[in-house]
Structure 1
């Protein structure tokens, strides 16, 4: 493997060298531009100094010619500004002997020029105009100005030479880089060709190895199939997703399920065309895959805290007692289960089926962490989370909670694993031993129920996961009476099915007719209202929620206004606001989530129709 990766490493090294050299060149060019700007600014400072000297001289000449004091104003301003301009020139002067020497010449010439100007003005003001003019005609001021101009020209030539030298050096580097880049690209192409050749050889080896692996997998198939059947239900309860981070995991799982469904249906079609009717296993496989997809969608909604919960007042102790047989069958004989149930445990208001799923997920994770041998302790206790605890834990509201603790004697978790434990599709289990959705589903359900979940663990010391569900303070709701068995009851009611998707509408009406109901169907809310008005004796409205023009909630409100005794069942694959608010179903709302089985549909219809 090291030899195989060597061409890639070499290629990346060449690319890194090119990029690094390019970066150096860019920095060199940036430095050259900065130096050029500094040279221009410095020369502008010198030009400003020369302009001030010329203004002073112009003011002196005007005063000597006219005798007007107003001509001395430019002179005075220039004399006042010259020291500051000299200071700026000094601060910008580079530590260069040649430039420093020329600046010294400029200062000397400027000093002589200013002294000459001041002397002529003083003579003129004393009344000795002839002598002042004689001093002007002597050419001392002009000579000083010429000397300043000559020094400034020298400085400009020095700056231009420095800029030219930098540009020449940059051009040389760029030329060598261009040559090096072409050579590097050629080397990369050669490395690519070598890598492709090696990959083909490796691919052939991989094919041979895969064939051998398939043979061994067939030998182990019976044992693997047995274990997968025992764990399939648990894996499906762990599946969930978070928007953004979960695209790859969702696509992987859904593609596997769709592959089972498509292959099973294709085989069933072929068998039916040949007149064969032994397709029950194929149908079962497709149905099982579809159920897995539905469970995955449920877990995804649980993690995103968008699943429609049906909370009830729950006695956690009673719920755990009822789960004892299920836990023993699921965990196996190697796991010793101990329950420590607190006396006087408070009630909580949550979805009992989701509580069972959460406990089952935690128990299965514990079994895997203990490698099918160890002790699992499930404990309940009344708990209070105070303000101090809430201030250090996001989304925790101080108050009273019912706490469920699941403790195992397994391998434990490191702090890094604990930090990522609730991430969807994160798992430390081997491949095909878990989806990484169990703890995510627990986390989403608990948060949606207003609770809190916390992990306590150390490597080699086992793990404790505590679930906190808010205490219920209201009056306990009376338990619903156990209904009679309606499986044999003859159905005579008329049902109005409203669904905008024609395929879903056809399948739903077909199932209801199979159950014995009289079915009328409509593809939109307005059409459903027309059929409701035209057809007497409709007992139940079965409507999708998400529909164009008029959604299911508005349709139900309009239908109940016209026919108050009408029963309504809502259905949808996902809804946020129509009949679900804050993650809970609205009061007195009958809801059946898509997709549903014929048994679920039959039970829901009878429950609603038989409700007084």
Structure 2
């Protein structure tokens, strides 16, 4: 088809399109004018309705002013009346003008005019009589109900006119909407027809002429999209042809494989990349031999993983293409590997927590019975060395079992913590003499601190136990002697460090580092050192729970722990505790218990579902001089308290109780009845009733099972004589020496 014919055909098509557009434009203009007229009529109707409403309001205001003047005789009430008289006249004229085109409305106005006039005269007459004669004369006119009847006639007429105008408004709005819809349909139809005609003309007349140009443009767009897509990926993409030469790539391909820019260019053979990637030691890419002889099923990629020298973990995937080439995809899996490690740790923690929580309660109950009875027996035994020694051995074994359970709870982050701001500069120096005595003379203990140390937020007792555990591990790593260094410092763990350690939150931390010059550990041992029951010591020399307990305590405190060790170079364990805001205290400030056990005369309600535990607790307390009431569950405890409400000074209750009423609920109900009753919880496993996010709730007092006789005596005395104690005479502040 010649260009001249194409031009003539295009001219004819465009002439038709112009005619169609003119026709649509004319119809659209006509409908637009009609719509504008309908809108003006709608506005006119709205004006009429407004005038009718204002007229009714003006008459009502005039009547309101008249009533006020009749009742008070004050001219101040005539202001609305006088203002309304002018408005009634003005609004009546406006209505006459606005409804000039509506005979029905004009007729209603004519009928309403004399009624309106009589109403105004009635108002004026009553006002004048009230002024000239008095209230009673005016009220006689009002009682004729003439004004009320006239007002009803006015309101009826106004309502009829309003209904008429609203009906007119509805019809005009419907007409406007109908015309608007028609205009929209016409515009839409005309536009669609014009677009279709234009597309048909362009397709039929210009297809051959523009085919080559469109194909070229499509290829440019596809190439640009491919390049943009490749560069936007966080994965490295390298495309190789059938001769294993590079054809396409993105920037991440060069970055992840650490390739020089000069090497990454079209035509570079694959073997060059493989050789360069193998220069650092471990080969990152498959060799040429592996490519040549490796078999791959159609459509199934080959996937393998490699570690870069800088520690990044890469996943490489080779996918065949139909032309014999392949696509090499490189993915940095470092963060994913870290996240999987954190997930595995969390799952392991959950499993340990479930196992520990399942056995801790019952096991600690048994240990409480054993320890309590042993303590009770030892206090009553005659000083027979053999018997005392056997009791002490049994007590040591029971305490050892309690320590193991406590370490399991610590690792599983199930132990209740009472974190407070701790002044490390005041706490750690007090531990150094204890460590020197504990570790022996062959260990040189050194202490280093930085000026201006931040206070740490942690449980002071657990922190002391953690440092002691680390020191004992360091001693075992230096059998021939060595140096133990305790270092305190302020540390800022920044965002970069937090990105490399998925479980860390960036911020300020107080650091406690314990270093030794022992034999050190290999990387595979370091990777498992915090696992429960993992130990490198000989059988019978360790439980494998010491470092696990430290790990659990630090994590539960919201901190971070890091271990550095090399064979023959020693080990450093760094504990990062959250920086505390507020006044700090040292461990020494917490005070120590007196040697003699405090005794008392108060009344204690003991609630424990395990009979043997309840029996020994009751026996210990009674032996200390207290009057003891006991209950086996929550419901029984409430009944016992109800019978002795005025006598009970302290509630000692287990947290985990059978039945519908748990220990926390028993305490809340008793506190609601008598807020002065002191509350002390006891438990070997606290669930989540009084411990949340690993910390004791504010104001909660807890004694952990298993407890010894002196621990129970001192804790009860502490709670009964605490701040704001209502009854200080229930405990002897100068205790008698135990018999």
Length-normalised TM-score, structure 2: 0.45
Determine whether 1:464 maps to 2:566.
no
The 5 A counterparts of 1:103-502 are 244=351, 278-476=386-584, 487=596, 490-502=599-611
Moved more, 490-499 or 557-566: 490-499
Moved more, 386-395 or 431-440: 431-440
Contact in 1 for aligned 2:352/2:412 (Cα 8 Å)? no
The 5 A counterparts of 1:575-586 are 575-586=686-697
Determine whether 1:598 maps to 2:721.
no
Given candidates 685, 704, 707, the residue that maps to 1:574 is 685
CA distance in structure 2 between the partners assigned to 1:534 and 1:367 by the alignment: 58
Equivalence for 1:523: 632
Contact in 2 for aligned 1:540/1:569 (Cα 8 Å)? yes
- Which structure: greater helix fraction? 1
Deviations 1:511-567 (A, max 9, x none): 111111000111121221121121131100111111122001001110011111101
Alpha-carbon offset, residue 394 of structure 1: 2.6
Contact in 1 for aligned 2:423/2:585 (Cα 8 Å)? no
SS in 2 for 1:321: helix
Alpha-carbon offset, residue 242 of structure 1: 6.0
Contact in 1 for aligned 2:421/2:583 (Cα 8 Å)? no
CA distance in structure 2 between the partners assigned to 1:348 and 1:445 by the alignment: 14
Deviations 1:8-37 (A, max 9, x none): xxxxxxxxxxxxxxxxxxxxxxxxxxxxxx
The structure-2 alpha-carbon separation of the partners of 1:490 and 1:502, relative to structure 1 and needing over 3 Å to count, comes to closer
Deviations 1:292-314 (A, max 9, x none): 11111111110001100121211
CA distance in structure 2 between the partners assigned to 1:597 and 1:291 by the alignment: 9
Contact in 2 for aligned 1:494/1:518 (Cα 8 Å)? yes
Contact in 1 for aligned 2:601/2:627 (Cα 8 Å)? yes
SS in 1 for 2:699: coil
Alpha-carbon offset, residue 458 of structure 1: 1.2
Alpha-carbon offset, residue 245 of structure 1: 7.0
Given candidates 639, 643, 648, the residue that maps to 1:534 is 643
Is the radius of gyration larger for structure 1 or structure 2?
2
CA distance in structure 2 between the partners assigned to 1:486 and 1:438 by the alignment: 29
Contact in 2 for aligned 1:331/1:372 (Cα 8 Å)? no
CA distance in structure 1 between the partners assigned to 2:535 and 2:559 by the alignment: 23
Contact in 2 for aligned 1:332/1:372 (Cα 8 Å)? no
Alpha-carbon offset, residue 576 of structure 1: 2.0
Alpha-carbon offset, residue 338 of structure 1: 1.1
The structure-2 alpha-carbon separation of the partners of 1:521 and 1:281, relative to structure 1 and needing over 3 Å to count, comes to same
Alpha-carbon offset, residue 359 of structure 1: 0.9
Deviations 1:257-311 (A, max 9, x none): x99x99xx99xx9xx9xxx994222211111111111111111110001100121
CA distance in structure 1 between the partners assigned to 2:538 and 2:594 by the alignment: 45
Q: Could you say what the CA RMSD is over the residues aligned between the two structures, in angstroms?
A: 3.2
Contact in 2 for aligned 1:404/1:468 (Cα 8 Å)? yes
Deviations 1:558-595 (A, max 9, x none): 00111111011011110121111111011111111111
CA distance in structure 1 between the partners assigned to 2:385 and 2:451 by the alignment: 58
Given candidates 611, 618, 629, the residue that maps to 1:509 is 618
Structure 1 unpaired stretches of 5+? 1-240
Equivalence for 1:196: none
